[in-house]
A = this chain, B = another copy of it.
Amino acid sequence: MKRKPLSENSILRKILASCRPSPNSGGVSPSIVLGMGDDAALFRPKTGFETILTCDWFLEGTHFLRHKHPPDSVGWKCLARALSDIAAMGGTPRCFLLSLALPGSLTGRWLDAFLVGLRRASRKFQCVLAGGDTTRRDKVLINVTVIGEVKTGRAVLRSGARAGDTLYVSGQLGEAELGLLVLKQSQKPPKARNPLTRRHLYPEPRMALGQWVSDARLVSSMMDLSDGLSSDLTRLCAASGIGARVEMPRIPRVRIPKHALLAGIDSAHLALHGGDDYELLFTVPPHRLHIVPASFQGVPLTPIGKITKRREMVILEHSGRQRQLVAGGWDPFLK
């Protein structure tokens, strides 16, 4: 049975009702003075803190596929990936704005499941919905703006890396890209608990790690890995005006299970150029190296190379051969 699409006001009410903070969460967000329903949202910044602002596209056909990605994964991931930018600054998320365009036919069950995933991420990372904009469109278009906070002067930038610093990554690289390959090849809808696709569908931004790194004044620079190590490291090097020498054998990378469909997939390639991992890439000055633990809350922290004065990115292969590392990750304009 085909139902009439909801009006814009009804959709707003649905979103609002779904993402209202739970009564038990109490003081989750005393900073939101006024949420959805007025011309704009009102946010009361904490004294002694700076506000972090970030926005992220999440578009059907570009960032996800309607027939492959379950709607609750779309809801989770559109917020999680924007939160990752807050983590990369060492900040704490406070609230977000959701801009959502969707077909009238998706304002029922699809929207409900989308909101389940969105609410789960919103509660887990204590980032409340403060406002947004909705409109109709033939494809699902999402833009999420996250507002976070960090103690004044404590934000961790991309531009602070210096020659001699050690380059670290969190987690295992290439897992999300492998998940995408599995998802594309599979005929069946993905299971939420399938470890092969979970990291692609429900990425975990490294909020606690980012905040700890900022509090401990551990690092000289930090960013999140969204487009792939080779592309993102290029940006860190450009922002800091330095180069890097990465040792391939040290890069913690996805394990590819023995599976006919996955034959020929190279884990080194996934780890270097695969997108969507949302791990943190950071540089530690020599005198702080002794503070870095081997893992943080179960997530491994691995030194993968050194920052160099010479402005080029070099990779040392397993064979001992050196070659230039060229950005080969995700660039929507060059794909």
Seen from chain A, the residues whose Cβ lies within 8 Å of a Cβ on chain B are: 5-9, 11, 33-34, 37-45, 47, 50-57, 59, 62, 85-86, 88-89, 91, 95, 97, 99, 101, 104, 107, 130-137, 141, 143, 145-148, 150, 152, 155, 157-159, 223-224, 235, 239, 331-335
Contacts and interface: CB of A to CB of B under 8 A. Distances in A.
B53 A41 contact: yes
A43 B150 CA distance: 10
Number of copies: 2
Contacts of A334: 5, 7-8
The 9 closest A-B pairs by CB, nearest first: A40-B54, A45-B45, A143-B143, A39-B88, A136-B332, A43-B51, A39-B85, A135-B332, A41-B53
Given A141-B141, A155-B34, A50 B39 contact: no
A273 to B, nearest CB: 15
Contacts of A101: 57, 59, 62
B99 A57 contact: yes
A149 to B, nearest CB: 9
Contacts of A52: 40-43
B42 A155 contact: yes
Given A42-B52, A44-B152, 4 more contacts: A7-B334, A34-B155, A42-B50, A54-B131
B51 A44 contact: yes
Instruction: Pick the most buried of A39, A147, A334: most chain B CB atoms within 10 A of its CB.
Output: A39
Given A57-B101, A89-B40, A145-B145, A136 B333 contact: yes
Contacts of A41: 52-54
Contacts of A95: 53
B159 A99 contact: no
A107 B107 CA distance: 33
Contacts of A5: 333-334
Contact of A331 (B8, B37, B50, B150): B8
Given A40-B86, A42-B51, A54-B41, A7 B59 contact: no
Nearest to A145: B145
6 contacts: A38-B223, A40-B148, A44-B51, A45-B45, A57-B143, A59-B141
A45 B47 CA distance: 9
A235 B39 CA distance: 10
Contacts of A147: 51, 53
